Structure 1
Amino acid sequence: MWFGESQKLVKKIFTQYEDMKKTEKLCPILLFNEADAIIGKRKSAGSSNTADTENAIQNIILEEMEKFEGILFATTNLVDNMDAAFERRFLFKVKFEQPSIENSAKIWREKLPQLSEKESETLANTFDFSGGEMENIARKCAMEEILTGEKLHFDAIKNLCKSEKWSGEVKGKIGF
């Protein structure tokens, strides 16, 4: 709301972390979830007031990370959007790939125990889903079960899978 207020609030995150470290037995973890929102590529200076404010916030975070003594995790699905200055400051970078087809089949069976081994393998081979997307399907199945009192059959589960991604892309065909 006020000029400079955002920068002060960001600085306060790091100050509060330092204060917390003094009172805790174990080192606390500072987590920036969906960090691409704050550690994305910097904008051209002077292009707009908003861009200048965002750059100022990023500069504060960079300065704080430079002297940071603790544990900081940052998560993102948009690694390519990360500013190189931030990337340099992360000691470890871990990329989580999509689960293998074998692991996807196991996840399907874990999330939806009513699936046969063949059905879970069919879903794993057909849909390139993350564990989170499989969890979404399982939640939708649970909601349907609550509403109808019956577990969904395989065809209904396949239809939920087809509409899970915006693109509706399917790796292969199901059936003959």
Structure 2
Amino acid sequence: CISALFHGESGTGKTMAAEVLANEFRLDLYRIDLSAVVSKYIGETEKNLERIFLAAETGGVILLFDEADALFGKRTEVQDSRDRHANVEVSYLLQRMEAYQGLAILTTNFKTALDSAFLRRIRFMVAFSFPDASSRTKIWQRIFPPQTPTQGLDYQLLGQLKVTGGNIRNIALNSAFFAADHDEPVMMKHILQATQREYFKLKKLLSDEEIRGWS
């Protein structure tokens, strides 16, 4: 198995990078829905995973385990049958990953939560860091499609917002909706409104430093 672990904060581009790789290799990307795989019934999770691996090997696709810590988490001390069952699932996954004839990409926001035996089997580990101000400015410069009407956007000021690329995408999309509601081009005031909404979702305070010079 050729395996890669993409780790870093939510919104830093891990899943998007997997999609880019699949496009470059001209392969389908099979994203694993953990809620549909993990079962409370003993033995069912392993059966579900075996079907996925066999289908992936037959179809020649890239497997993407998003939020891999949910499946590949650290094995626990056995205190009851539930712990024993969870450890059997992890052991099975470790063995099946080694036997898999293909490319498997795993993403996690919490690398430290992953099983150490599993990490030793990963061939490539790629860290996705939180973007600095310069990187955020570049993301803002590319976030709106050319056909999107904009007016007076200051990308250097927008780069002051301490958010990930995923958050920038959400803010840009909502600001476009706010502008369209008033039949206006996207302006700084719309982005501020969208930023306040995004920060509320993140349970994060928008500091004066981040919007200094906006008005």
- Output the TM-score relative to the length of structure 1: 0.80
Q: Which of 94, 99, 105 lines up with 2:137 in the alignment?
A: 105
| CA-CA distance at 1:81 after TM superposition | 1.3
The reply to whether residue 43 of structure 1 matches residue 99 of structure 2 is no
> For the residues of structure 2 that align with 1:54 and 1:146, how far apart are their CA atoms?
50
- 1:35 partner letter: A
- Residues 1:147 and 1:64: Cα distance change in structure 2 (over 3 Å): same
Q: Which residue of 1 aligns with 2:52?
A: 13
Q: Which of 144, 148, 153 lines up with 2:182 in the alignment?
A: 148
**Number of aligned residue pairs:** 167
Would you say the 8 A contact 1:42–1:83 is kept in 2? yes
- 1:123 partner letter: L
| CA-CA distance at 1:150 after TM superposition | 2.0
Q: Which of 109, 124, 128 lines up with 1:92 in the alignment?
A: 124
Would you say the 8 A contact 1:108–1:134 is kept in 2? yes
Q: Which residue of 2 aligns with 1:70?
A: 102
Q: Which moved more, 1:103-112 or 1:160-169?
A: 160-169
Of Structure 1 and Structure 2, the greater strand share is in 2
Q: Which of 95, 114, 129 lines up with 1:82 in the alignment?
A: 114
- Residues 1:150 and 1:48: Cα distance change in structure 2 (over 3 Å): farther
- Residues 1:147 and 1:115: Cα distance change in structure 2 (over 3 Å): closer
Q: Per the alignment, in what secondary structure is the counterpart of residue 71 of structure 2?
A: helix
Output the aligned Cα RMSD. 2.4
> For the residues of structure 1 that align with 2:78 and 2:151, how far apart are their CA atoms?
55
Q: Which of 13, 32, 40 lines up with 2:65 in the alignment?
A: 32
Q: Which of 194, 197, 202 lines up with 1:160 in the alignment?
A: 194
- 1:19 partner letter: T
Structure 1: gaps of 5 or more residues: 22-27
Q: Per the alignment, in what secondary structure is the counterpart of residue 93 of structure 1?
A: strand
- 1:32 partner letter: F
Q: Which residue of 1 aligns with 2:166?
A: 132
Q: Which residue of 1 aligns with 2:3?
A: none
- Residues 1:42 and 1:169: Cα distance change in structure 2 (over 3 Å): farther
- 2:56 partner letter: Y
Higher relative contact order (CA 8 A, sep 6+): 2
| CA-CA distance at 1:115 after TM superposition | 5.8
> For the residues of structure 2 that align with 1:130 and 1:111, how far apart are their CA atoms?
12
Q: Which moved more, 1:147-156 or 1:91-100?
A: 147-156
- 1:131 partner letter: G
Q: Which moved more, 1:82-91 or 1:153-162?
A: 153-162
Rg larger for = 1
Would you say the 8 A contact 1:109–1:115 is kept in 2? no
- 1:5 partner letter: E
- Residues 1:71 and 1:148: Cα distance change in structure 2 (over 3 Å): same
Would you say the 8 A contact 2:176–2:190 is kept in 1? no
Q: Per the alignment, in what secondary structure is the counterpart of residue 198 of structure 2?
A: coil
